[in-house]
Structure 1
Amino acid sequence: MRVSDLTDHTGYWLRMVSNAVSQDFARKVDAEGVTVAEWCFLRALFDADGIAPTLLADRMGMTRGAISKLADRMVAKGLVARMESGGRGQTLALTATGRAKVPILAAMADANDAAYFDALPDADRAALDRILRNLAERRGLTATPLS
């Protein structure tokens, strides 16, 4: 019986590329004082003008506890503010510093993506995006990848 080699698996190649893309990006955002998870959190808040932590948790596919821990870190860094929203509820919103940081981090994400995927012809890149989105949808993968 033949035992498959590691390199026989599509997942092997996907992890190899994904790990390299993710690790390079993590090093870049670290220079800006944030983690990849914090970048995802900031980007999720960027389009909202204050959002309840529970709604943010649902949108990102995270637990409320994980959102609370991320929020604590971002508040301590001066990038996010907690505001009372009447009654017992609260909302999270970017501070001016946090709002200014998001376009910088987004440009870094764009450049990181380009460094890896601009080598592909446009049709191949579009096909790769389509295939990966299709696989994610078929598997019901909705949680924001944080690492």
Structure 2
Amino acid sequence: MTSTSELTDHTGYWMRMVSNAVSQEFARKVSDEDVTVAEWAFMRALYDFEPTPPSVLAERMGMTKGAISKLAERLAAKGLVRRVESRDDKRAHTLSLTTEGRAKIPVLASLADENDAEFFGVLTKEERDALDRILRVLAARRQLTAPPVD
């Protein structure tokens, strides 16, 4: 008879436990700023490269154009993103942050930094560096390039 492994025997179990805890706390923090984690990722992806066509943003974020459109609509309704139609082609448009959206980026980035410091502050610098290195190696070897947004 073969033995059946326990949930806790799997590295993925521990990664998911940690990831969920970090993500849930960050989601709580950004919700106080009236954005979701996906909206934050969208805004941050746009921050250094605006104006950006939705198709380019979708490719950069590893999302569908439909998902990008939904996020853009939500953020436009909140006054954080604007859509600008092309003068040459009325079907084409670009996305940019509004002044309010641009001002929110440093605030949200600070919350991300704070969340990391709070959660991973229990590690020594050497442990943190090792964890970062291992996760980056796994991502590279698995060719994981799309940012996690959900």
TM over 0.5, shorter chain: yes
2:107 corresponds to which letter in structure 1? I
Residue 109, structure 1, aligned to residue 112, structure 2: yes
Q: Distance in 2 between matches of 1:6 and 1:27?
A: 27
Residue 95, structure 1, aligned to residue 98, structure 2: yes
1:132 corresponds to which letter in structure 2? L
Q: Identity of paired residues, percent?
A: 63
Deviation of 1:49 after TM superposition, in Å, equals 2.6
Q: Distance in 2 between matches of 1:60 and 1:134?
A: 20
Aligned residues: 147
Q: Distance in 2 between matches of 1:140 and 1:49?
A: 26
Q: Distance in 2 between matches of 1:49 and 1:34?
A: 19
Q: SS of the residue aligned with 1:37?
A: helix
2:96 corresponds to which letter in structure 1? A
1:22 corresponds to which letter in structure 2? S
Q: SS of the residue aligned with 1:48?
A: coil
Q: What does 1:1-147 correspond to in 2, within 5 Å? A: 1-88=2-89, 89-147=92-150
Task: Give the superposed CA RMSD.
Answer: 0.9
Residues 87-122 of structure 1, C-alpha deviation per residue, up to 9 Å, x if partnerless?
222110000000000110000000001111121111
Unaligned runs of 5+ in 1: none
Unaligned runs of 5+ in 2: none
Q: Distance in 2 between matches of 1:75 and 1:31?
A: 18
